[in-house]
Amino acid sequence: MMANPFSENLKKPSVLVMLTLATVILLLGVWRIVFYIHSPDVLLLIDRAQARWIRYDGGLVLEAKPSSWTASAFKCVFHTAAPVENAVLSLQALKKAEVFFDGRNIYSSANDWRQWKQIHQVGLPFNVSAGSHEIVIRVQSENSYPAVIAYSEKLPVRTGEGWLASTDGQTWSPAVFASRIEQPATSRAFPSSFAALAAIWPYLAAVFILTLAVCLWKKGESFGRQLEASQIRWLMLLGWGALAVSNLFHLNYQVGTDAWGHIDYIDYIVTKGRLPLAPEGWHMFQAPLNYIISAPLYALLIKWFDFPVVVKILGIIPVLCGLLQIEIVYRTARLVFPERKDLQIITVIAGALLPIHTYACQYVGNEPLAACLMSYVIFLCLGLIAPASGERGGAYFLLLGLVWGLALLSKMTALLLAPVLALVILMHARSVQQSMKPALRPLFIVFGVATMTAGWYYLRNYLELGNPFAGVFELTQILQWWQDPSYRTFSHFLSFGQSLIHPVYAGVTSFWDMFYSTLWLDGLNSGMLDFIPWNANWMIAGSLLALPVTILMLTGMGSALFNSKSAYRYAVLFSAGMVVFFLAAMMDMYMVCPLYSRTKASYTLGLLPCWAMLISAGMEPFLRHRIIRAVAISLFACWAFAAYAAYFVVGFH
């Protein structure tokens, strides 16, 4: 009797683990979606019954707005040919509503704004006579734009086209769909990606032709054979360091995402001699390690230099973290691609010049330190799943726990590594054929050391604020300001493309545009509203030049998934899994906290080794044929050259 291959595969432990993980992830996803739909804290607007959520068209505003109440009125004039009895208006408003029918108040919602997701059935207390009638719905909201959806089965009333909106009840204009995606006028003030590319194409053409000629002349033999990855590592360190030194002198000291919040944190430690609590300031909810390290330098410098000079010198710490990340990427490349010098070189170049790594490390912030430590955790994890890793001793897991603990003290984003570490350690135990009991020992070591390293901070939060993660899961309560779009619709997740045309502030339109425009360029101008602090054309053109590199990453994921004979398959699958996992976490935050600046690619800066490996793995299939290899390397060289030139500031601001 022949065995069923499908049933035999199901019996394999690895397949069972994957199916179990997939089931758990699916159930968690369904549970989270149900939470989005029903929780009053998630401002998700879902169209229904052929009606659309509508709002007042006030244009998109980039600046944050202070905590406040907002109000809008919505009006519809309709006609009935015959009298209508027992009419009912189904109504949902963000967040409190009053309904007026022909000037008569027929409904006022309760004062409990947490009931706003309830669909109210407003019965008209009278028969509707034939003729023209007017419905006015006044909506009041807090820290968001007022919006409403209403419809009726018996009356020709459905919110959508034809409705008017007003903020003062006097001046009316057409209401717009809440799902409408728009960019701010500021975005159009900057060059489009096509105009920027046209401005720099002669330089890129020279780079492409020169690289192509070298590759064809040498037949690709010099690439990865005469060159060593260690040489490219030093070249990247020197070039990246020169860029940072130039920016230290030329970059405006005010440049930096949330820079003043980070400076306030450091100043608080210096002036008050203790760590702040989450409610005490803008960024006081952040984990403290970066600020503890920066405080002594700040205290010393502020005595001798003006404030702008102090702020710029403090940027040395992020720069050092950026240089260390390049070294980590190099060591990761050596670990994952031990027999492929060409892939090692591509990995080092891609990691060093990925724009999010370059621009985010040029000014004060906690992201570079956290990312550096998380990158090292990833490197240590890869050391456990590499084919030739062998069994690791207790010292290895002590180091892993210590580095993860320091990452937890740098930024709470490192919490996402907890399930990853557990899974990797158990997989390592299985690969060296350990039983369950010995496998649990390194798990306890890693989590125990991390708890001893960072647990005091989270315990302090719990004792003082009742929540160890205060500021992350209660961010909407701590923030005393709000920002567009102030709510979410499915269009924010299902659209993409603005970042390829007008990438600056394209992130306000959708999750994917935000992620793409902040990964491949500084799409939010590092917090500057009215000017680009970098070399504008080079930076903006990066949105188009990154398209081939993005395709390479997707190719790398696919090749690792389907090529079971690849020596580095597990490392690339690990990298792809990390990216997908972090993207899922970012999408969750994007839904829960509906501010356009909440989902930047900088949250994945700690995945720099993963990004670089995916690019290299995607490049590998294109390196097998002489002509294709030459073209692929030349396109990669154009991207790398532009990515470096974009953030090497030479003019004074």
Q: Which of 536, 538, 483, 537 is nearest to 514 (CA)?
A: 483
pLDDT at position 73, please? 95
Contact 490, 179 (CB under 8 A): yes
How far does the chain reach from its first CA to its final CA, in angstroms? 79
How far is Cα 54 from Cα 579, in angstroms, rounded to an integer?
35
Q: Encode burial over 261-294: b for 16+ CB neighbours within 10 A, e otherwise.
A: bbbbbbbbbbeeeebbebeebbbbbbbbbbbeeb
Q: Which of 21, 8, 128, 114 is nearest to 79 (CA)?
A: 128
Position with higher pLDDT, 652 vs 534: 534
Separation of alpha carbons 256 and 593, rounded Å: 21
Q: What is the dihedral of CA 624, 628, 633, 635, to 10 degrees?
A: -150
CB 275 within 8 A of CB 269: yes
**In the numeric block, which tokens belong to residue 303?**
């005595």
Q: What percent of the chain has pLDDT over 70?
A: 92
pLDDT at residue 1 in the model: 43
Lowest mean pLDDT among 179-188, 205-214, 536-545: 179-188
How far apart (Å, rounded) are the C-alpha atoms in residues 114 and 126?
30
Of 399, 396, 373, give the one whose Cα is nearest residue 386: 396
For the beta sheet containing 164-166, the strands, ordered from the edge strand earlier in sequence to the opposite edge, are 104-108, 96-101, 131-142, 69-80, 164-166, 173-174
Parallel/antiparallel/unpaired status of strands 96-101 and 104-108: antiparallel
- The structural domains of the chain, ordered by start, are 54-180 (2.60.120.260), 186-483+492-646 (no CATH)
**Which of 67, 161, 204 lies closest to 483, judged by CA?**
67
DSSP-assigned beta bridge partners for residue 138: 73, 98
Which contiguous run of DSSP H or E holds residue 96? strand 96-101
Model confidence pLDDT, tens digit, residues 18-59: 677 778 778 888 888 889 988 998 999 999 989 999 999 988
Residue 9 has pLDDT above 50, yes or no: no
Confidence of residue 604 (pLDDT cuts 50, 70, 90): very high
Q: What is the pLDDT of residues 489-514, one digit of tens each?
A: 999 998 999 999 999 999 888 999 99
- Per DSSP, 71 falls in state E
Using CA of residue 452, residue 454, residue 457, residue 459, what is the dihedral sign?
Answer: negative
DSSP string, 446-485: HHHHHHHHHHHHHHHHHHHHS-TTTTTTTHHHH-SEE-TB
The pLDDT, as a whole number, for residue 68 is: 86
| Ranges 380-389, 460-469, 538-547, 595-604: which has the least confidence | 380-389
Per-residue confidence (pLDDT) for residue 557, from 0 to 100? 79
Task: Identify any residues that bridge with 74 across adjacent strands, giving them in sequence order.
Answer: 137, 165
Residues 6+ apart with CB under 8 A from 227: 341, 345
* Average pLDDT, integer, range 67-73: 91
Q: What is the pLDDT of residues 211-226, one digit of tens each?
A: 999 888 876 454 555 6
The tokens for 155 are 């009356």
Instruction: Tell me what pLDDT residue 6 has.
Output: 46
How far is 567 from 617, CA to CA, in rounded Å? Answer: 11
The answer to whether 342 touches 226, Cβ cutoff 8 Å, is: no
Quick check: 346 and 224 in contact, CB under 8 A? no
Binned at pLDDT 50, 70 and 90, residue 278 comes out as confident
Least confident of 229-238, 405-414, 594-603: 594-603
pLDDT in tens, 137-153: 999 998 899 999 999 99
Question: How confident is the model at residue 479, as a pLDDT?
Answer: 58
> pLDDT at residue 416 above 60?
yes
- Eight-class DSSP state of 394: H
Q: Identify the H or E element spanning 178.
A: none
pLDDT band, residue 564 (cuts 50/70/90): low
* Residue 652, pLDDT above cutoff 70: no
Q: How far apart are CA 97 and CA 142, in angstroms?
A: 12
Q: Which of 584, 575, 636, 632 is nearest to 608 (CA)?
A: 575
Task: Give me 227's structure tokens.
Answer: 């060159």
Task: Label each residue of 255-319 as H, E or C.
Answer: CCCCHHHHHHHHHHHHHHCCCCCHHHCCCCCCCCHHHHHHHHHHHHHCCCCCHHHHHHHHCHHHH
| Both tokens assigned to 386 | 């590499």
Confidence band of 481 (pLDDT split at 50, 70, 90): confident
